[in-house]
Structure 1
Amino acid sequence: MLTWGARAYLQYGVYLLLFLVAWRRGDAPERILAGIMLGMVVVDRIYHLGRGSDLLVYYGVDVVHLAIDMSSLLGIGYVALHANRVYPLWIGGAQIIAFSSHFYRLGIVDIHTTAYQVMAIIPSYVQLLAMALGLVFHARRRKTRGSYPSWRKSSAPSSESGARPLHAA
C-alpha cells in the first residue's frame, strides 16, 4: 500500500512522463499544458525544500501556493480558451477549484487543515487524467485525420468585415 508521501513521488513521476510524451507526441497546447503542470510541481518542490518555516502563511493560506495556483490558472486558462481541444477546459476547471480553495480557507478560518489540503490537491488528479486522455485523443485524432490546427481562430466578426446591420434603412 502506498503511503501519502510515496503517492506524491509517484504523482511527480507521472507529471514528468506526461511532459515527455507531450514533448514528443503533442503539439503546442499539449507541450504548454504539460510544461505548466510540471512547472507547478518543480516550483512547489523547490519552495518546500528551501523554506525553513511557515513565514509565508497569511490567515492559514500559504501565499506561495496561492501564487503558484494563480499563475498556473492564468497559463492554463489561456490555453483552454484558445486551443482547438476540449480537454484543456477540464484541466482549467480543476485549476479553478484548486485556486479557489485558498479563498475558501481565507473565508472560513476554522476549516480543518485536511479539508483545505484535499480541496487544493484532489484537482491535480483530475488534471493528470485529463492530460493523459487528451494526449491519447490527440494522437488518435492526428493518426486518423492527419494534421489539424492547434489553435482556434477568432469567430467574432469585425465591423470591417462588411456584415450588414440588422436594421437596414
Structure 2
Amino acid sequence: MNVYLYWPLLLLVTAVAMLRGSRDARAVTAICVLASVATHFAVAPVALRYSRIETGLLIIDQATLAGFTLIALVSQRFWPLWVAGLQLTSTLAHLFKALHFTLMPQAYAAAERLWVYPIFAIVLIGIVRHQLRLRGRLPS
C-alpha cells in the first residue's frame, strides 16, 4: 500500500464523511482510521512482513469486519453491506496464507490491503447519495 496515497485518501474520505456523511459513513470512516492507526503498530518488521501470518493484522481485520458488519445490520442503506463484504474478502487473505503458507508475501499483502480502495469509493458514493436524498433528489 502506497502510504503517500493511502493516508491522504483516508483523511479526505474521513473529512468528507464527517462533514457531509450519514451516521453510517462517519462510523465506517472512524473504524478505518482506528484500524489504520492500529495497523501501524501491529505490522511485523519489514524483513518478516507478510512472510508468515500477520496475527496482529488478522485481529485488527476481524475487529474491523465485526464493526462493519454491525453497521450493515443496523443501517437503513445497502452500501454498508458492500463494505462489510469487501472487508470479509480482505480478512480471508489471512486464511489463504494459513492454507498456502508458501503464498508469496507480495500476494498476501496485496490480497489483504487491496480492498480498502473500493471501500473508500463505496463510502463516497454513499455520501453523495445521502446528500441527494437530503435535497429531495432521491427517494428515501
Normalization by structure 2: what TM-score?
A: 0.87
**Equivalent pairs, count:** 140
Distance 1:99 1:113 in 2: 15
User: Match of 2:20?
Assistant: 25
Distance 2:45 2:103 in 1: 25
Any idea what the Cα deviations from partners look like across 1:74-96, whole Å, max 9, x if unmatched?
00001012101111111111100
Q: CA deviation at 1:30?
A: 1.3
- Distance in 2, Cα, partners of 1:110 & 1:45: 25
> Identity over aligned residues, as a percent?
24
Q: Match of 1:123?
A: 115
3-state DSSP of counterpart to 2:103? coil
Task: Provide the residue aligned with 1:88 in structure 2.
Answer: 80
Structure scoring higher RCO (CA < 8 A, sep ≥ 6) equals 2
Flag structure 1 segments of 5+ consecutive residues without an equivalent: 149-169
* Greater shift in the superposed pair: 13-22 or 61-70: 13-22
Change in 2 beyond 3 A, CA 1:17/1:109? same
In structure 2, C-alpha distance between the alignment counterparts of 1:135 and 1:122, rounded to whole Å: 21
**Cα offset, 1:64, TM superposition:** 0.7
Matched, 1:40 2:32: no
Deviation at 1:145, TM superposition (A): 5.9
Whether contact under 8 Å (1:56, 1:63) holds in the other structure is no
Given the alignment of the two structures, is residue 15 of structure 1 paired with residue 7 of structure 2, yes or no? no
**Pair member with larger Rg:** 1
Measured in 2, the distance between the counterparts of 1:86 and 1:9 equals 31
**C-alpha deviation, 1:45, in angstroms:** 2.0
Bigger CA drift: 59-68 or 100-109? 59-68
Identify, as 1 or 2, the structure richer in helix.
2
Q: Name the structure 2 match of 1:67.
A: 59
Q: Cα RMSD over matched residues?
A: 2.6
- The structural deviation recorded for 1:53 is 7.4
Task: Tell me how far apart the structure 2 counterparts of residues 12 and 128 of structure 1 sit (CA, whole Å).
Answer: 12
